[in-house]
């Protein structure tokens, strides 16, 4: 992927066009031209960030609906609940399990002292099941975000580190589950699931499904 990106960089430097790679190749950071390493890092972030997390939310969401058929029935009966289900899927799946940050000042969180410069690991999978934030957080509930005053799920991060592609991801998940459930209302996981071995990304390597084809 890096080699492919490098070729695009050189092409767009010489012949820029109205495309994303041209914009990156000719952009300026703090008044200076973007360096090649920064470009490569940005390219990979855009490709992976817009792919792996959304893809794993889709498969993880379908698994959750298969394991909770009464929740799938709610969506079939009332498709207007799908936007709420999308937020619940991201909360439930937590496609990025954790991130690490560096504390910029001394602080204390729940009697745990954190010093400036300490490395802090934020487990989104744990935060998304915080009993102080959600009622019954260990239950998959597609109606959760159709209710008022519900805490925001942390699957897209928070603050200055919020996912720039969150709105696109929400739209993709919404459209996919609208169409998937409309066309294949009985789709369900039909065999053993093989998970990705990772403590960073929640992912599924294999997940067989069965459904009745459209007539």
pLDDT-derived band at 1, boundaries 50, 70, 90 = confident
Task: Summarize the confidence of residues 172-195 as an average pLDDT.
Answer: 96
Please check whether residue 107 lies inside any domain of the structure.
no
Please check whether residue 189 lies inside any domain of the structure.
yes
Please check whether residue 194 lies inside any domain of the structure.
yes
Please check whether residue 150 lies inside any domain of the structure.
yes
Task: Collect all residues with Cβ–Cβ distance below 8 Å to 55 and sequence separation of at least 6.
Answer: none
Please check whether residue 205 lies inside any domain of the structure.
yes
CB atoms within 10 A of CB 114: 14
Report how many domains make up the chain.
1
pTM score, whole prediction: 0.84
CA angle 189, 191, 195 (to 5 degrees): 85
Q: Under the phi-then-psi rule, with left for phi > 0, alpha for psi from -120 to 50, and beta for the rest, what region is 161?
A: alpha
CATH (domain of 148): 1.10.630.10
Domain housing 167: 50-95+137-155+162-210
In angstroms, rounded to a whole number, what is the distance separating the alpha carbons of residues 130 and 144? 14
Please check whether residue 168 lies inside any domain of the structure.
yes
- Render pLDDT for 105-131 as a digit per residue (tens, 0 to 9): 999 998 999 999 999 999 999 999 999
Please check whether residue 22 lies inside any domain of the structure.
no
Please check whether residue 204 lies inside any domain of the structure.
yes
pLDDT-derived band at 163, boundaries 50, 70, 90 = confident
Q: Under the phi-then-psi rule, with left for phi > 0, alpha for psi from -120 to 50, and beta for the rest, what region is 31?
A: left
């Amino acid at each position: 992927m890096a080699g492919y990106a490098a070729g695009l960089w050189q092409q767009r430097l010489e012949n820029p066009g109205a495309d994303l790679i041209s914009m990156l190749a000719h952009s300026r950071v703090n008044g200076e031209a973007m360096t090649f390493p920064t470009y490569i890092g940005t390219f990979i972030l855009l490709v992976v960030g817009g792919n792996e997390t959304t893809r794993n939310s889709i498969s993880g969401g379908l698994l959750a609906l298969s394991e909770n058929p009464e929740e799938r029935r709610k969506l079939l009966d009332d498709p207007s609940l799908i936007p709420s289900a999308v937020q619940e899927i991201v909360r439930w799946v937590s496609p990025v399990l954790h991130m690490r940050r560096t504390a910029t000042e001394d602080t204390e969180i729940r009697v745990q002292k954190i010093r400036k410069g300490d490395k802090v690991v934020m487990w989104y999978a744990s935060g998304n099941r915080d009993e102080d934030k959600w009622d019954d957080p260990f239950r998959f509930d597609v109606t959760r975000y159709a209710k008022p005053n519900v805490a925001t799920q942390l699957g897209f991060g928070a603050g200055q580190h919020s996912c720039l592609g969150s709105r696109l991801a929400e739209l993709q998940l919404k459209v996919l589950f609208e169409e998937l459930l409309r066309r294949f209302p009985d789709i369900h996981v039909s065999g053993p699931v093989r998970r990705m071995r990772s403590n960073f990304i929640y992912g599924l390597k294999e997940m067989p499904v069965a459904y009745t084809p459209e007539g």
